[in-house]
Structure 1
Amino acid sequence: MQWLSSKRYSPSTIKTYSEALKSFLIFYREKQIAEITNEDVIIYNNEFILKNNLSASYQNQIVNALKLFFKTIQDKQIIIDTIHRPKRGKILPNVLSKEEIKLILTVLTNTKHKTMLSLIYACGLRRNELLQLTFEDIQADRKLLVIKQSKGKKDRIVPISDKIIEMLRDYYKEYSPKKWLFEGQRENTKYSDRSLEEVLKKSIRLAQINKPVSLHWLRHSYATHLLESGTDLRYIQELLGHSSSKTTEIYTHVSTKSIQNIKSPFDDL
């Protein structure tokens, strides 16, 4: 954990990797670490991960954690090609229609709650990106929002509309936050992840939308709606902060603009 911290890994990655490593070392608690081989990793994969029906993502986390641990801390090379990585399933992102988004946002009467969810959708933000914002990150004169040190320690900028700027001004007049753009009940503290999730749950309930909507659905919807309005995929990649274009390309599979124009051969029967 100290090594990961020194390399500036995010707290969530440190927690994930250390817990994955702990699981593996407990499985081999009777064996000296220096004696662990590639074969032991394969046995762990078959006898623990697969037997307990653990997810493919957990299996990948284990592989990444072990690779780092043995290479950096133990100075011992684990040949990663011999460790079974699961084939990744092709899971499409969940997307809401513009009508559903509008409904989710209009049912909220609390200015802070409405502004938070509106900003996530309007700028395609991740949850933590929203909660890390300060008023200095809003460049109203240039109509830009600066997102600092996000996933992968990257900064990026995204456009914000006059409508959102006006909403933020109204919000500031009512709440006057001191440090963070969205603060909790105590002054100078960030709004909590859990409270933000509760805001979304409340809006979904009031909007009577029977879907297991998460905050990330708003980001997915932002990207898909941009694509459907004709925005180039390369720009969407930049706006979302994706390192690889392949990550962004998944939205082409959920965009309905082109699909809806395809005529079924059934109609010619």
Structure 2
Amino acid sequence: MICALNYTYVYPAEKYVKVRSDFCPYIFTHEEIRRLFEVVDHLPYWGRYPKHHLIYPMLLRILYGCGLRLNEALLLKTGDVDTTQGVLYLSNTKNESQRCVPMSVSLWKYVNYYLEQMAYPPDYNGYFFTSPDGNHYNSTPVYVMMKKHMKAAYISREDGTPPRVHDLRHTFAVHALEKMDREGCDLYYALPILSTYLGHGSIRSTEKYLRLTFETRDSITDSMAGNYHDIFPEV
């Protein structure tokens, strides 16, 4: 509502921007992630984009293995990737804050393999995911291609549409929590670690990413059972 010079205007209800507060991200199962890797790891050579079959396997591993936002990954430069320590240095982030993201050993090895295949010059400090014109990949075609790969891996929502690329970040958070729980990490301490790794300003932001799936719910519930087994008597 706007009030000025004794005039009042009420915005029509249909003009309001509707905010979905009940949105639930798609969490990939481990089997779906395996199938998606199977698809991108067997992409054929494409003359129009000669590095296409190398970039998408690497991009998927960065998104799922480190939980990066898509633009954080696309704006990486080779100088941001420490191949001796296995760390990504991010400066182009949503919150405009720098952060260091350690990689797993397997991802670290794949990064070195990727750089060998890309055959960048020794003094190259351009984009890690470089487009044919030497710039970084644009997010729009990446969205299109990733959805195509998801369809090829038979991954879809209940309505038949493919998940969002950003859902890989949600999935990373859930699978990371699952892994820490499986390794005996106290979930009370796990959340701040995960929050820092994702680049969130508070744990509250991280909680939005933790959607328990049927894969993880039982294991996490079982791990907490010892804390409440004597509270509720069996019926």
1:37: Cα distance to partner? 8.7
Q: Which residue of 1 aligns with 2:133?
A: 186
Structure 1 match to 2:25: 93
Q: Match for residue 198 of structure 1?
A: 144
Alpha carbons of 1:39 and 1:253: their partners in 2 closer, same or farther (altered >3 Å)?
farther
Q: Does structure 1 residue 207 correspond to structure 2 residue 153?
A: yes
Deviation by residue 1:166-205 (Cα, 9 ceiling, x = unmatched): 2222222222354100011212x11111221133122112
Equivalent in the alignment of 2:48: none
Check 1:207–1:36 CA distance in 2 against 1; reply closer, same or farther (3 A cut).
Answer: farther
Which among 74, 96, 99 is matched to residue 131 of structure 1?
Answer: 74
Residue identity matched to 1:120: L
Question: In proportion to residue count, which structure has more helix?
Answer: 1
Whether 1:102 and 2:34 are equivalent positions in the alignment is yes
1:142 aligns with 2:85: yes
AA paired with 1:102?
A: R
Report the counterpart of residue 234 of structure 1 in structure 2: 192
The answer (yes or no) to whether the contact 1:228–1:257 under 8 Å persists in 2 is no
Q: How does 1:58-73 map to 2 (within 5 A)?
A: none
**Superposition map of 1:1-269 within 5 A:** 35=4, 40=9, 43-44=10-11, 47=12, 50-52=13-15, 54-56=17-19, 89-108=21-40, 109=42, 110-177=53-120, 178=124, 179-187=126-134, 189-211=135-157, 212-230=162-180, 232-254=190-212, 256=214, 259-260=217-218
1:2-58 CA-partner distances (Å, limit 9, x unpaired): xxxxxxxxxxxxxxxxxxxxxx9xxx9xx9xxx479965xx23xx2xx2246312xx
Where structure 1 has 5 or more consecutive residues not aligned to the other structure, the ranges are: 1-23, 57-87
Number of residue pairs the alignment of both structures matches: 196
Q: 1:126 to 1:219 in 2, by over 3 A?
A: same
Amino acid at match of 2:14: K
Distance 1:38 1:156 in 2: 50
State the Cα distance separating 1:156 from its structure 2 match. 0.9
Q: TM-score, normalising length from structure 1?
A: 0.64
C-alpha distance in structure 2 between counterparts of 1:241 and 1:176, whole Å: 31
Structure 2 CA distance for partners of 1:53 and 1:217, relative to 1, 3 Å: same
* TM-score normalized with structure 2 length: 0.73
Which protein has the larger Cα radius of gyration, Structure 1 or Structure 2? 1
Going from structure 1 to structure 2, the CA distance change for 1:51 and 1:210 (only over 3 Å counts) comes to closer
CA RMSD, Structure 1 to Structure 2 (Å): 2.9
**Relative to 1, partners in 2 of residues 1:37 and 1:234: Cα closer, same or farther, differing over 3 Å?**
farther
In structure 2, C-alpha distance between the alignment counterparts of 1:206 and 1:185, rounded to whole Å: 25
Q: Which amino acid aligns with 1:254?
A: L
Structure-1 separation of matches of 2:131 and 2:205: 33
Deviations along 1:94-128, one digit per CA (max 9) or x if unpaired, are 21112111210121122211111111111101010
